[in-house]
């Protein structure tokens, strides 16, 4: 598949547009990843909270088990420590929930920041580039199969911008009706140029 025009000026514009688009895409992805990482850093508080809760729970559980071994009064003393250890577990769970929420926000924000500009870039750059490549490939195939300048001239009359047509002749339709081979070929070249194909491709 031919990705670039046969005409140097148009090819240069396409290459520059491709480079700019790739740079923009990389910048967008980098910025989105950086913002997501910055948001994830807020999860450090949740990790610290979880670690503190687990340490608190572990310490009180160990103390409760030690005191629970005291004859006669052990079970009575152990109760408050077990309750406090449960509170430590709740603190640890709160830390885990905070981390999950921060991760959700970071992931969602990162995707939104990346997808919106990339979707716009797809519409203004990628789709036209794909259309150009497909149109150029199809037209080259049609010319190879025997399409003539007359058919291309008709296509140019129906689709090309008026300013490109009047550059060939002030009344381009009359040129096609008169069947002037030189001017018909020039009209065909208008369509070929739009597809990035040199006039020499025509027999």
- Tell me if 156 sits within 8 A of 187, measured CB to CB: yes
Cα R_g (the chain), whole angstroms: 36
| For residues 86-113, average pLDDT | 82
pLDDT at residue number 154:
87
User: Residue 70 pLDDT > 80, yes or no?
Assistant: no
pLDDT at residue number 157:
87
| For residues 85-92, average pLDDT | 66
**Residue 134 — very low, low, confident or very high, per pLDDT cuts 50/70/90?**
very high
Is the Cα dihedral 78, 84, 86, 89 positive or negative?
negative
Q: What is the pTM (predicted TM-score) of this model?
A: 0.72
| For residues 26-34, average pLDDT | 95
Report the chain's mean pLDDT, rounded to a whole number. 83
User: Residue 158 pLDDT > 50, yes or no?
Assistant: yes
Highest mean pLDDT among 38-47, 84-93, 191-200: 191-200
**Residue 110 — very low, low, confident or very high, per pLDDT cuts 50/70/90?**
very high
Structure tokens belonging to residue 131: 């259309």
| For residues 77-89, average pLDDT | 60
- Residues comprising the chain, all counted: 203
User: Residue 5 pLDDT > 70, yes or no?
Assistant: yes
| For residues 144-157, average pLDDT | 87
pLDDT at residue number 202:
82
- The CA distance from 10 to 167, in Å, is 18
* Domain assignments of the chain as residue spans, ordered by start: 1-133, 146-203
**Residue 74 — very low, low, confident or very high, per pLDDT cuts 50/70/90?**
very low
Among 89-98, 131-140, 144-153, 160-169, where is mean pLDDT lowest?
89-98
Nearest alpha-carbon partner for 159 in 185, 194, 189: 194
pLDDT at residue number 13:
94
**Residue 127 — very low, low, confident or very high, per pLDDT cuts 50/70/90?**
very high
Alpha helices in the chain (DSSP H): 8-40, 43-68, 74-121, 127-144, 149-159, 162-166, 172-178, 181-194
């Amino acid at each position: 598949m031919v990705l670039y025009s046969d005409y140097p000026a148009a090819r240069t514009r396409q290459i520059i547009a491709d480079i700019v688009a790739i740079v923009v895409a990389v910048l967008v992805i980098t910025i989105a990843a950086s913002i997501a990482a910055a948001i994830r850093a807020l999860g450090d508080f949740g990790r610290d909270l979880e670690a503190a809760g687990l340490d608190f729970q572990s310490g009180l559980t160990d103390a409760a088990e030690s005191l629970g071994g005291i004859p006669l009064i052990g079970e009575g003393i152990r109760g408050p420590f077990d309750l406090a250890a449960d509170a430590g577990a709740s603190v640890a769970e709160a830390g885990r929930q905070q981390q999950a929420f921060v991760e959700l926000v970071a992931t969602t924000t990162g995707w939104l920041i990346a997808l919106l500009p990339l979707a716009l870039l797809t519409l203004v750059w990628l789709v036209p580039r794909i259309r150009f490549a497909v149109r150029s490939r199809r037209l080259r195939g049609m010319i190879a199969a025997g399409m003539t300048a007359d058919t291309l001239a008709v296509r140019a009359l129906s689709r090309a911008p008026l300013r490109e047509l009047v550059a060939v002749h002030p009344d381009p339709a009359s040129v096609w009706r008169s069947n002037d081979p030189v001017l018909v070929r020039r009209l065909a070249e208008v369509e070929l140029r739009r597809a990035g194909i040199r006039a020499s491709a025509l027999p």
